[in-house]
Chains A and B, each alone.
Chain A
């Protein structure tokens, strides 16, 4: 029963984080909130018995993609104006609140290890089971996706490589 409560808490946290992410004027803040939302999502995935997916969520989404966003934002100096990132009490309250909620849920989850909860047959996909499914039934899909990633890499390289011609000429 605790698990349901935790889910609703996490869901609320995610929604709030996303909402805040959308409404920020500065992209950096938005990215930060989004990272926050992805952490909560990872927890939810874990809650649904998908530990591998939760881990990947943390690694790929929060880790790789959002960092890339942040990097791009920083590179393109999109931060609004030259105003220094002063600590503004009013702005950090929502962040603190959200962090607390997330922290609380994590602690609860750690304490109530579902395996131990044994509240009925909550579905739990062990990595073994996940691995066999991935490479047994979806072997082909994996290859395709890998190709896709290759193309993306080549594409990104090509688009990124073009040295900027005279500014403002129409493509």
Chain B
């Protein structure tokens, strides 16, 4: 293994936290989706690192599934974004508080 597994995990963690920060901090829907993407990729990194560490190919297979799921998710969410944009004229996440208690 070229790099100690811990470092890979740390790297993935940092990446994940950045994605999370983006989701939490940003107002714009698109940026939130980007944040989600980053988080998913961080997961992918961890998976690949794991498969390299345990010398199993399953990790990589999972990354493929992960990518499939991500693309499905992006497809729908961007469709929603378009829909919301047309309906509400804005993409500010806080404006969509229809579920307010």
Q: Which chain A residues have a beta carbon within 8 Å of chain B's beta carbons?
A: 3-4, 7-8, 11, 14-15, 18-19, 21-22, 27, 30-31, 34, 37-38, 41, 44-45, 47-50, 52-53, 56-57, 60-61, 64-65, 68-69, 72-73, 75-76, 78, 119, 122-123, 125, 129-130, 133-134, 137-138, 141, 145-146, 148-149, 151-153, 155-157, 159-160, 162, 164-165, 167-171
Beta-carbon contact of B67 and A22 below 8 Å: no
Beta-carbon contact of A50 and B52 below 8 Å: yes
Known: A50-B51, A133-B61, A134-B64. A73 touches B30 (CB 8 A): yes
Q: Which chain B residues have a beta carbon within 8 Å of chain A's beta carbons?
A: 1-3, 7-8, 11, 14-15, 18-19, 21-22, 25-26, 28, 30-31, 33-35, 37-38, 41, 44-45, 48-49, 51-52, 55, 57-61, 63-65, 67-76, 78-83, 85-89, 91, 98
Q: Which of A38, A76, A122 contacts B82 (CB 8 A)?
A: A76
CA distance in complex: A37, B18 (Å): 12
CA distance in complex: A109, B88 (Å): 48
Known: A48-B52, A125-B51, A149-B68. A160 touches B82 (CB 8 A): yes
Beta-carbon contact of B63 and A60 below 8 Å: no
CA distance in complex: A69, B15 (Å): 20
Beta-carbon contact of A122 and B25 below 8 Å: no
Known: A4-B3, A22-B21, A57-B44. A14 touches B15 (CB 8 A): yes
Beta-carbon contact of B2 and A47 below 8 Å: yes
- What are the residues of chain B within 8 A of A14 when measuring CB–CB? 11, 15
Beta-carbon contact of A27 and B31 below 8 Å: yes
The smallest beta-carbon distance between B54 and chain A, in angstroms, is: 9
Known: A22-B18, A130-B60, A138-B61. A69 touches B75 (CB 8 A): no
Beta-carbon contact of B78 and A68 below 8 Å: yes
- What are the residues of chain A within 8 A of B89 when measuring CB–CB? 167-168
Known: A41-B41, A156-B75. A18 touches B69 (CB 8 A): no
CA distance in complex: A12, B61 (Å): 26
- What are the residues of chain A within 8 A of B35 when measuring CB–CB? 22
- What are the residues of chain B within 8 A of A155 when measuring CB–CB? 75-76, 79
